[in-house]
Structure 1
Amino acid sequence: MKKLFIALALLLGSITCFAQADYKVIFDITSKTPEAQQTLLRQMNGILQGTPDAQLEVAIYGDALDMVLKDKSTVAPALGELINNHKNVSFKVCGATMKRNNKNASELLPGVQVVPDAIYEIITKQREGWGYIKVAH
């Protein structure tokens, strides 16, 4: 009986530790299509509904740059809502992409951060144990 109790305690402890594991995901988006960008936002909102403390980051580069530019974004309100209402959500745009497109940080939506290289950002997060999702539609 004592062994059964110990086994049960270990099993419950393992389940509790697993359930409390950090939920960290980095999204990779390069598409300028509104459908892909809306898919990204829908996926993020779905995760946050089920796991409000999930850490979510979006690496934006290539053709997706317009998504975070003040004068071109078609998803600015939804993106702003995520940034303003979830301290654990971040949008990071590739500095190299911005340079190639002659853009600077003042042209970005509020709360969007610049990283030197989006691919390096993705690789770094994966090394830290983050999950990876390539957004496509």
Structure 2
Amino acid sequence: IGLPANVFYGTTIPTSILVMKRQREHSGNILFIDASQHFEKVKNQNILRPEDIEKIVTVYNERKPEDKYSYVADLDEVRENDYNLNIPRYVDTFEEEEPVDLKAVSAELKTLDKDMQKTDAEIADYCKQLGIDTPF
């Protein structure tokens, strides 16, 4: 169970909880939970809210995969990953960014450039009135 960074006093690193049982019902797989983005920032520390804890407990008890939050990996998959238990290897939290409208950005840059030229001309005029050199 991956927890947010800065949850424990005196350390800012993200922490994990490893749950190990001798008598496992599900001995052929491992549940990974990424709760690292589910917290509230309070002053200099992050805290798990009751609803964050409830979600962790519910997912743990139900052992259900949830998009961008939890994943159940079978032991063969873990073996293929050289027994690497790094949570991001199993729980994909990647958020795809919205595509950028290059035409709109280009048009905005042209507008801003024209505005900047107008402002530069005004500054040059003020400098001329004051009898000083322009800064550009």
Give the shorter-chain TM-score range: under 0.3
Q: Flag the structure with higher strand content.
A: 1
Name the larger-Rg structure.
2
Q: TM-score with structure 2 length normalisation?
A: 0.23
Q: TM-score with structure 1 length normalisation?
A: 0.23
